[in-house]
């Protein structure tokens, strides 16, 4: 399925994951009818490639962000959200479903969450500290009390290659 655009991938993945547009229209959300947002994990194309592969391999099952990064234009993730994971070239690689969202202080993030995206809790803390430093606009230094948005997801539809 190499070189596929988002809409074509959505058609394949929606069918492959058994998401029924009719059931979605009847329900509260229209998630089965319109393509969900495309997301690239990481800050660079190389990181996006590596992390897309980790999602496909089942090694990356969580994501972390800082609460201050959300606003009216960027809403908090919700349980039941869908996303299309793209690689470093912007090619769709996976459809994921958010199964859990929690907001906790940085110091309270547990090992179970950290292991969903890193080798250990210590490695996760170091990676998050580096990401927070890079994202800080001068008004949001990382502290033990910084609210973190913890997201857990399930791989619904993978694309190999």
| Confidence band of 5 (pLDDT split at 50, 70, 90) | confident
Domain boundaries, the chain: 6-158
> Does the pTM exceed 0.95?
no
For 64, other C-beta atoms within 10 Å of its C-beta total: 20
- Give the whole-angstrom CA distance, residue 141 versus residue 54: 29
Instruction: Read off the pLDDT of residues 25-52 as tens digits, 9 standing for 90 and up.
Output: 444 444 455 789 999 998 899 999 999 9
Please report the pLDDT score of residue 16 as a whole number.
Answer: 76
- At residue 19, the 3 state secondary structure works out as coil
Fold observed for domain 6-158: Sulfate adenylyltransferase (3.10.400)
> Is residue 67 helix, strand or coil?
helix
Q: Taking residues 53-76, what's their average pLDDT?
A: 94
User: Cα 35 vs. chain centroid, distance in angstroms?
Assistant: 15
């Amino acid at each position: 399925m190499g070189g596929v655009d988002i809409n074509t991938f959505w058609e394949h993945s929606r069918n492959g994951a058994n998401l029924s547009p009719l059931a979605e229209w009847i329900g509260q959300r229209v998630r089965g009818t319109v393509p969900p947002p495309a997301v690239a994990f990481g800050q660079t194309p190389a990181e996006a490639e590596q992390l897309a592969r980790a999602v496909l391999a089942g090694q990356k099952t969580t994501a972390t962000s800082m609460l201050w990064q959300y606003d009216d234009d960027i809403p908090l993730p919700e349980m039941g959200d869908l996303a299309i994971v793209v690689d470093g070239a912007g090619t769709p690689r996976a459809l994921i479903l958010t199964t859990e969202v929690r907001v906790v202080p940085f110091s309270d993030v547990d090992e179970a969450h950290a292991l969903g995206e890193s080798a250990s809790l210590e490695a996760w803390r170091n990676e998050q500290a580096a990401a927070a430093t890079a994202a800080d606009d001068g008004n949001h230094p990382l502290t033990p009390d910084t609210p973190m948005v913890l997201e857990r997801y399930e791989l619904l539809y993978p694309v190999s290659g």
